[in-house]
Amino acid sequence: MAWRWGTQVFAQLITWASTFAVIRILTPADYGLFAMTQAVLTALAFLNGYSFATSLIQAKEIDDRRVGQVFGMLIVAGVGLAIVQSLFAPVAAAYYGQPMVEDMLRVQAVIFLATPFIALPSALLARRIEFRNQGLVNLLCAVVGASTALILALGGSGVWALVFAPIAMAAARAIGLTISAKLLVKPVFDFRGAWDIVSFGGALTLCQFLWIVQSQSDVLIAGPAFSPGDLGIYTTSLFLVLIITGKFIPPINEVLFPALSELAKTGRPLAPFFIRTLRTVALVTAPLYIGLALTAEATVLTIAGDKWADMIPIIAGLTLAMPFFALQIVCSPATNAIGKPRIYVATSTAGAILFPAAFLIGVSSGPMGLVHAWWFTAPALLAITLALTLPAIEVRIGDLLKQLFPVAVACALMAAVVTAVKSVLPEMAAPFELAILAATGGVTYGAALWMLWPHILTETWAMLRSRKANPADVVTPA
């Protein structure tokens, strides 16, 4: 966890530095065009075969033939998707009414060709619970992507800076992971005897499809209704807000799934580790999101400038839904680890119904209508997910709420103090106001936990320092 998540933090610092610089160079319309292509790219990505590679993590035994079969499936999927996206590009351009989308999609199709050389080595390394090299490769990819985006933006390439940066990152990741995993197996295109791969991977593929419906429905629904500028304001706001859940939570899941799978294979209980994970996620994400809601104006003006000022109410509103969203994301590894992907399918189905329905209602009110949709859907989906997940891994809702209560109280105290300080601050430059409010919030939050629930901080620190954990000790009653 230290390697995978720690290197992700450093990688994101590199990416943030580049992103904030590129935002100041490009326009909202550039980001709107890019969001249109990402909706298509992501919509097809659920068929990239990544879930077939994931099946290798959960399987009790694997051999060269099994690995070769997965490699073959990934190659077939990658080549097929690249062709499909190239053929579909004119249709997407016509749907959005933006001719440039066609050329962008055809160039972006090459990303699918790199997927087999990313998914398979990632799965093999995860099965061995080896995340050091993966973390180092992520750092390399961050440098490559950030450099590509910034150089092209400074050179006047416009939206193409956003197009080529992910392609460069995919190439670097494919090369780095293939070398790290020492992937020498040949692809096998004879898929006889691979039903277990297809069945487990198929369930996860269905979940990926449902996730895409949930996560891309806002852009697909708002794309024809909004101008490129308004769509760019909303999607860029969402991108900035989702940096925490979209960049920091997935690495936790990447470690959590193989780790819980090993526990499940040996018959050890998952409940203590699951509760600790949710508490840790809340401990980190909740104060960051509440703090961002309170400092949205100073944050936007500091990192993006006045031309992005329309993002301020969007970001302030979206952050209120994100703590619920973050907790929901980390539930699926537990049920997948015990061989019950149907629970993941059920929660994914709920998300694929709730989010599009709410966005269809909210789109008529503009970007803020989509924000209001998030306020309803994120808490509702978390409630559904916990109702299905907790009984499966034998966790009582009361035990979970007891562990989350200190985080909620500390965040409330932090919000009260930051609001009070903000009300008495004289007018000053946005960066200075942001620094003062961020420092005030961080100190207040840390002090509240240290004075009222010091065991939470000491347990979290002990978990980070220790290579082994006693499941009987990971959750201390409040």
Q: Would you state the pLDDT for residue 463? A: 61
55-63 contacts at long range (C-beta below 8 A, 24 or more positions apart): 55/196, 55/197, 55/200, 55/201, 55/204, 56/123, 56/124, 56/127, 56/197, 57/123, 57/126, 57/127, 57/257, 57/258, 57/261, 58/200, 58/257, 58/261, 58/336, 58/337, 58/339, 59/196, 60/265, 62/127
Q: How far apart are the two ends of the chain, measured CA to CA in Å?
A: 25
* Sequential pLDDT tens for the chain (478 residues): 667 667 777 887 888 788 888 988 998 889 888 988 988 888 787 777 777 777 777 666 777 788 888 888 889 989 999 999 999 999 999 988 889 999 999 999 999 999 899 888 888 887 777 778 888 888 899 899 999 999 999 999 999 999 999 999 999 999 998 888 887 778 888 877 666 666 666 666 777 788 788 888 898 899 888 888 888 899 889 988 987 777 667 777 777 777 787 788 788 888 888 898 899 889 989 999 999 999 999 999 998 888 889 999 999 999 999 999 999 988 888 888 887 878 988 999 999 999 999 999 999 999 999 999 999 999 999 999 999 999 998 899 999 999 999 999 999 999 999 999 999 999 999 999 999 999 999 999 999 999 999 988 887 777 656 544 443 333 333 3
Please state the domain extents for the chain: 1-193, 203-470
Report the predicted TM-score, pTM, of the whole model to 2 decimal places.
Answer: 0.69
Residue matched to tokens 């992700």? 8
Contact in structure between 62 and 193 (CB atoms under 8 Å): no
Q: Would you state the pLDDT for residue 67? A: 82
Please name which of 297, 303, 320, 324 lies closest in space to residue 415, comparing C-alpha atoms: 320
Give all strands (DSSP E) within 325-455, no chain letters. none
Q: Would you state the pLDDT for residue 464? A: 57
Q: DSSP character for 319?
A: T
Q: DSSP character for 305?
A: -
| CA angle at 152 for the pair 151 and 155, rounded to the nearest 5° | 90
Which DSSP string do the residues of 457-473 spell out, in sequence order? HHHHHHHHH-S---TTT
Q: Would you state the pLDDT for residue 369? A: 95
